[in-house]
Amino acid sequence: MIDIVNTGYEVLLTGMLSAFLAQIIKFCIFTIKSKKMNFKIFTTTGGMPSSHSAGVMGLSTSIGLIAGFDSLLFAIALGFSLVTMYDAAGVRRAAGKTAACLNRMMDDFYKHDVQAIGGKLKELLGHTPFEVIMGAIFGVVFAIYFHKFLVGYIY
């Protein structure tokens, strides 16, 4: 078996698993709220919690646990994470609001025959700041517990 504890493999696995588990949580929340299953949730952006935030903060926290929270690697990873989360809550959210506005305008202009212009634009692109924060918290907590699990399991 490959020893993944305290290696780049642990960092990558932590980032991917935290993002994947956030998508599962997002699916469960959507299913409970809407009382219907929509498997497209697994491949869409937006929603609660932010899987992008969970993934990048899981990755950053894992690097901090392995290389140290005062390391250059952690500083780079955290900078990358902050840019990603800012983008999710800022730029992509604004693009989603713009798409919603354009969809309403096209509904009015084309008298509800939006298929004539190729369909509606995707509106759920970004996250609210709360969704980003919850994703980030999930990523940090997951990274800590996953690291402790691996260290306890291997050693």
- Please check the confidence at residue 111 and state whether its pLDDT lies above 70: no
Residue 113 domain-assigned (yes or no): no
**Could you report the per-residue pLDDT of 20-72, keeping only the tens digit for each?**
999 999 999 888 988 888 777 777 767 788 999 999 999 999 999 999 999 99
Please report the pLDDT score of residue 47 as a whole number.
75
Q: Interhelix angle for 129-154 vs 72-89, to 10°?
A: 140
Average pLDDT of span 68-86 = 95
Q: Are the CB atoms for 16 and 56 separated by under 8 Å? A: no
Residue 96 domain-assigned (yes or no): no
Domains held by the chain: number: 1
Residue 110 domain-assigned (yes or no): no
Q: Which amino acid is at 154?
A: I
Average pLDDT, the chain: 84
DSSP calls for 20-31: HHHHHHHHHHHH
Dihedral, CA atoms, 78, 146, 17, 66, nearest 10 degrees?
A: 40
Domain that holds residue 16: 8-29+46-90+126-154
Residue 133 domain-assigned (yes or no): yes
Query: Percent of the chain scored above 70 by pLDDT?
Result: 74
